[in-house]
Amino acid sequence: MTQPRSAGESFVSTTPAAGDAFDSLAADYDQAFTQSITGRAQREAVHRRLEARLAVGDRVLELGCGTGEDAVYLARRGMTVLATDPSAKMLEAARRKATDAGVGEALALRRMAAEGLAALPDDHAFDAAFSNFGALNCAADLAPVARELARLVRPGGVVILCLLGRWTAWEWLWFLLHGQPRSAVRRLRPGGLPWRGAQVRYPPLRQVRRAFRPAWRLVRSAGVGTFVPPSYAEPWARRHPRLVATLARLERRTETLSPVVRLGDHVLLEFERS
């Protein structure tokens, strides 16, 4: 596996704004999202697929690891993880979490945006690459990222991507009920949305597939957060925990059906290397 240098030693990015933008979120991220009812339910759906696709001993590259929740999860299950993120503060939080979990040996952290993958020298160094909860919605162009992943992941390996969706049933309902119709359709704005100096994009599924061709074949897609509410509905979710649990079960049963895939807060895509 590529021997990672310590976080902060080098930083490769063509979108420096993204790392800075997320720095300001790092301190509260776990409390506001990771530990929330909605965040936990959405992450569990992703973890089910990680369990299904990855095995003990796999070498995993994570893009946009944030506070390291998934990286620690994978390291605890016997995988070797290189977790990357452009935000120095997110990586600090991830390092603390890895130390607390005692998985320092299996988990390396490196400050890097997805656009900087060319700096990783070893071809086929990984069995899988993974990115959760919209990290790659901050990348301006997915095609060069997909090409670098094709170099870094061995033939037969997988890429698992959880991206922010474009058509989100909950979002329309929520913002229309709150009298904010412009917010209801905000993800459809051409070019995406500016956010704290970064730009968040919501590419249509066909565009993502095209970016990953020809090296990657889409083998599964699922909706995440189609019935389970998004994080801004957390106060509502806290008042209705049993209903959220029921919605999570419904989502689990239907996650790969076409409308459920397309109407989620996130979409979870699994690609195999040709």
Task: Find the residue with minimal CB distance to ligand SAM.
Answer: 66
Q: Please, what is the minimum distance in Å from the beta carbon of residue 195 to ligand SAM?
A: 10
Q: Please, what is the minimum distance in Å from the beta carbon of residue 93 to ligand SAM?
A: 9
Q: How far apart are CA 113 and CA 11, in angstroms?
A: 8
85 touches ligand SAM by CB under 6 A: yes
Residues 189-208 that bind ligand SAM (CB under 6 A): none
Q: How far apart are CA 69 and CA 61, in angstroms?
A: 14
Q: Please, what is the minimum distance in Å from the beta carbon of residue 200 to ligand SAM?
A: 9
Contact 148, 214 (CB under 8 A): no
Query: CB-based contacts of 146: which residues, under 8 Å, 6+ apart?
Result: 159, 211, 212, 215, 216
138 touches ligand SAM by CB under 6 A: yes
Of positions 7, 45, 60, 65, contacts ligand SAM by CB under 6 A: 65
63 touches ligand SAM by CB under 6 A: yes
Q: Which of 149, 157, 133 is nearest to 53 (CA)?
A: 157
18 touches ligand SAM by CB under 6 A: yes
Q: How far apart are CA 254 and CA 96, in angstroms?
A: 37
CA dihedral 216, 221, 226, 232 (to 10 degrees): -30
Q: How far apart are CA 60 and CA 56, in angstroms?
A: 11
Of positions 90, 152, 244, 263, contacts ligand SAM by CB under 6 A: 90
Smaller CB separation from ligand SAM, 197 or 241: 197
Of positions 114, 169, 222, 228, contacts ligand SAM by CB under 6 A: 114
271 touches ligand SAM by CB under 6 A: no
Of positions 109, 113, 248, 263, contacts ligand SAM by CB under 6 A: 113
Q: Please, what is the minimum distance in Å from the beta carbon of residue 242 to ligand SAM?
A: 25
Smaller CB separation from ligand SAM, 115 or 148: 115
Q: Which stretch binds ligand SAM (CB under 6 A): 47-55, 81-89, 97-105, 231-239?
A: 81-89
Of positions 49, 58, 60, 70, contacts ligand SAM by CB under 6 A: 70
The residue written with tokens 């899988």 in the block is: 128
Q: Is the dihedral of CA 47, 268, 261, 219 positive or negative?
A: negative
H helix intervals, the chain: 16-29, 37-53, 69-76, 88-101, 142-152, 169-177, 181-184, 205-212, 234-239, 241-254, 258-262
159 touches ligand SAM by CB under 6 A: no
Q: Kindly report the CA angle at 135 between 97 and 225, in degrees rounded to 5?
A: 95
153-164 vs 266-273, strand pairing mode: antiparallel
Q: Please, what is the minimum distance in Å from the beta carbon of residue 72 to ligand SAM?
A: 11
230 touches ligand SAM by CB under 6 A: no
15 touches ligand SAM by CB under 6 A: yes
Residues in contact with ligand SAM by the rule CB under 6 A: 15, 18-19, 22, 63-66, 69-70, 85-87, 90, 113-115, 132-135, 138-139
